[in-house]
Amino acid sequence: VMWRQPPQHQEWKGAGTTAHFYEIILGRCYTYTQIVRPELGHKDCQKIGKAFTDAFLSKDPCSSTEQDYQPLMELTNQTVPCDKTLLWSKTNELVHEYAWVQRELFTLENTLLGYMADGLRWCGDPGSPEMNYQSCPDRWKDCSNNSVSVFWNTVSKRFAEDACGVVRVLLNGSVHNTFDERSTFARVEVFNLHPEKVHTLQAWVMQDIRNISSDSCSHASIKNLKLILSKRNITFTCENNYRDSFQKHLWRFSHK
């Protein structure tokens, strides 16, 4: 008789898989396809859930690849209308409040796959068919090609590739690196917008109302973004503190 060993998980520096990961992604898939976007009611959440876990279970969580996520990507394809893509960097809370009010705009987290994975962590282990709930690789201390980072790079790339018309980005003018070269927006999204489809990138640079400095659009990091886009033949526009519009939308919302 062979005694089954308890799973020998490697110790990583990052937090482990979110408890009840599978139930959460399955529940979110049904919520999204039945309630949030019933036009996607034909999607097979069982299949999607399985493709998600198949992408990383029994695999080295530091050698994750775009290829691992291809079956999942194919099952979750979704059309975002032209002019409705909203990117962001360092404005996680604000952008989602705005998208909640401006319902026709889509952030990645307003698409099926982004909605399912938002805020979760996951990884597997080559020596076990189970998820590792103890620890997962940290992207700085362990490895950059970890299952979570590769996932976000892959879905962000597709989100940018699929965009058309005017694309908006909500940036944070109250941090020194408003356009941060290490961010997903800078590394992945800016370089995967297709100039044949995307004529303009419109930046809204928001500042914390407690310490507004003058013109965020003239910051060095924004000039860098402008330069990258001009080389890519995409027009760049920038607006400081788009707050007036935000307030108008919030007002309309509260008076509905």
Applying CB under 6 A, the residues found at the interface with ligand DVN are: 87-90, 92, 108, 139, 148-149, 152, 156, 159, 180, 183-185, 189
Which pair of tokens denotes residue 114? 């982004």
Candidates 129, 87, 121; CA nearest to 107 is 87
- Assess contact for 207 and 200: CB atoms under 8 A: no
Smallest gap from residue 46 Cβ to ligand DVN (A): 26
Query: Strands 14-15 and 135-136, how do they pair?
Result: antiparallel
Q: How far is the CB of 229 from ligand DVN (least distance, A)?
A: 15
Pick 88 or 98: Cβ nearer ligand DVN:
88
The pair of three-digit structure tokens given for residue 44, joined into one six-digit string: 């097979």
State the minimum distance, in angstroms, from the CB of residue 2 to ligand DVN.
Answer: 38
- Show the beta-strand stretches assigned E in the chain: 14-15, 86-89, 135-136, 165-172, 198-206, 235-240
Closer residue to ligand DVN, CB minimum distance, 98 or 159 = 159
How long, in residues, is the chain? 256
- Count of C-beta atoms within a 10 Å radius of residue 67: 10
Catalytic residue flag (residue 164): yes
CA 22-129-27 angle, 5° bins: 5
Report in angstroms how near the CB of residue 204 gets to ligand DVN at its nearest: 13
Q: In angstroms, rounded to a whole number, what is the distance separating the alpha carbons of residues 80 and 104?
A: 10
Q: Pick between residue 134 and residue 183 the one whose CB is nearest to ligand DVN.
A: 183
Nearer of residues 51 and 108 to ligand DVN, judged by Cβ:
108
Which CB atom, from 116 or from 148, has the smaller least distance to ligand DVN?
148
Minimum Å gap between C-beta 52 and ligand DVN is 16
Q: Are 193 and 234 in contact (CB under 8 A)?
A: yes
The one catalytic residue among 123, 136, 164, 217: 164
Kindly name the residue from 82, 136, 217, 238 that is annotated as catalytic: 82
Catalytic positions, written as ranges: 82, 164
